[in-house]
Amino acid sequence: MKKKKLDYLGVSAFCESMAMMVKAGIQTDEAVGLLHDDSKKTGGVLAQALAVMKEQVDAGASLDAAMRASGVFPDYALQMVEAGASSGRMEDILFRLARYYADQKTISEKIRGAVTYPAAMLVLIIAVLTVMLTMVLPSFTGVYDSLTGSLAASSYSYIRWAYVFCWVALAVMVLLAVLLVTGLILWTSGKKETVEKVLNRIPVCRSILEDMGTFRFTSALATFIASGELQDEAVKHSLPMTDCRAVEEKLHRCAARMEEGHSIAQAAYDEDLFEPVYGRMFLAGERSGNMEEILNRLTGLLEQDCTEKVDRLVGVADPLLSGVLMVTVGISLLSVMLPLIGMMNSVG
């Protein structure tokens, strides 16, 4: 049975706790033991992992080997802890990992919210339209049929348009809901490429996916550079973290340029990996010897860009779906109320 992996928050909490203990001068085996004792009260995946890790470090294993033996940590965290141990910068690397996975948690929650709210609105719209078609409109139709004999032959026949409008709106909403559910199923089942091909046809979604891929790469690159990795090795190890085909293609071209003798900053600028202003920042940071600092700055700016774009997407979807709901219900009710107003005027 496949072991359940730690979520972003769990990895971040573990790395931050370990970093604080390392900073305080506590040995790795003692730090793991203290975390294991604390986790006994809560249980869960991390508690089980710490039990395995305690056995490993007590037997003389390194922290990265113990983490690997637990089977719950992502490969990137394992690679970075190993790099931190070999470079003697374990404290710094652990703090960076804690921040990286905390940022990943924030962005994933933003994306989840961007999907959840439209999904809830679609369900609400479908429910309202179903009620209109099965209860409200038939009730009015029955009343008008009894008064005029036949809607089709009377002056109130345009009420039929309410049915047409509701059925069309319902069909569109159901289609959108099916596409959304299908996309989620494909995404979670490991067929992200299929979903990305569709999303890449939508400019807003394509921009968000590319920004997220660039953010993940930059964050990983900053951590690898901080651990003492050479530029080409840092790019090689960071590339799988992008999880975006368009960004990966740019990075492969960057790697090819680096083999020709270019630096990572120059290659990234030439291949438009970053926006022009960010690319110039990267170049300036490399030439001034402040690459690590600039990469940290770029990571923060890219995270902010991702968050703002997701917020804007939600901000557009919110009024759009609310407007569809109000317009559909408003037109339908207006269609069934106008004949009643006409009859009241004729009686008056």
Sole residue written with tokens 């394509």: 206
Length of the chain in terms of residues written: 348
pLDDT at 148: 55
pLDDT value for 220: 82
Its sign, for the CA torsion 198, 204, 210, 211, is: negative
Spatial distance between the Cα atoms of 288 and 270, rounded to a whole number of angstroms: 19
**Mean pLDDT value across residues 145-150:** 60
pLDDT of residue 153: 47
Kindly state the percentage of the chain with pLDDT values over 90: 0
Match 């960004």 to its residue by tokens.
Answer: 247
Rounded to whole angstroms, what are the CA distances from 224 to 13, 35, 81, 172, 251? 20, 26, 10, 47, 16
As a whole number, mean pLDDT of residues 96-102 equals 85
Q: Taking CA 7 as the corner, what is the angle to CA 75 and CA 38, rounded to the nearest 5 degrees?
A: 105
How far apart, in whole angstroms, are the C-alpha atoms of residue 46 and residue 36?
9
Q: How confident is the model at residue 338 (pLDDT cuts 50, 70, 90)?
A: low
Say if residues 263 and 231 touch (Cβ distance below 8 Å): yes
Q: Which tokens go with 136?
A: 């409200």
pLDDT tens digits for range 150-175: 544 454 566 777 778 888 888 888 88
Please give the average per-residue pLDDT across 229-243, as a whole number. 81
- Which position has the higher pLDDT, 191 or 165? 165
Type of residue found at 287? R
pLDDT at 151: 47
Percentage, residues of the chain above pLDDT 70: 88
Q: Residue range 254-280: average pLDDT?
A: 88
Place of tokens 């995404």: 187
The first and second tokens of residue 101, run together, are 């996975």
The interaxial angle of helices 45-58 and 8-23, nearest 10 deg, is: 40
pLDDT for res 86: 75
What are the two backbone dihedrals, phi and then psi, of residue 271, each rounded to the nearest 5 degrees?
A: -95, 10
Is the pLDDT score of 261 beyond 50? yes
CA neighbours closer than 13 Å in the CB half-sphere of residue 254: 28
Domains and CATH numbers, the chain: 8-73 (no CATH), 104-348 (1.20.81.30)
Using a 10 angstrom Cβ sphere, with 0-12 exposed, 13-18 middle and 19 or more buried, the burial of residue 102 is middle
Residue 149 is classified by DSSP as S
Residue 315 has pLDDT above 50, yes or no: yes
Q: Give yes or no for a contact between 298 and 286, defined as CB atoms under 8 angstroms apart.
A: no
User: What is the model's pLDDT at position 190?
Assistant: 64
Q: Is the confidence at residue 221, as pLDDT, over 80? A: yes
Angle at 288 between CA 287 and CA 292, to 5 degrees: 95
Residue 251 CA from chain centroid, whole number: 21
Residue 218 has pLDDT above 80, yes or no: yes
- Quote the mean pLDDT of the chain: 80
Q: Are 151 and 144 in contact (CB under 8 A)?
A: yes
Per residue in 109-145, pLDDT tens? 777 777 777 788 888 888 888 888 888 777 777 776 6
- Pairwise pLDDT comparison (5 vs 68), residue with the higher score: 68
- Which own/partner contact pairs does 71-76 have at CB distance under 8 Å and 24+ positions apart? 71/3, 72/3, 72/4, 72/5, 72/6, 72/45, 72/46, 72/48, 73/5, 73/6, 73/11, 73/49, 74/5, 74/6, 74/11, 76/220, 76/241
Interatomic CA distance for residues 291 and 314, integer angstroms: 34
Average pLDDT, stretch 291-316?
A: 82
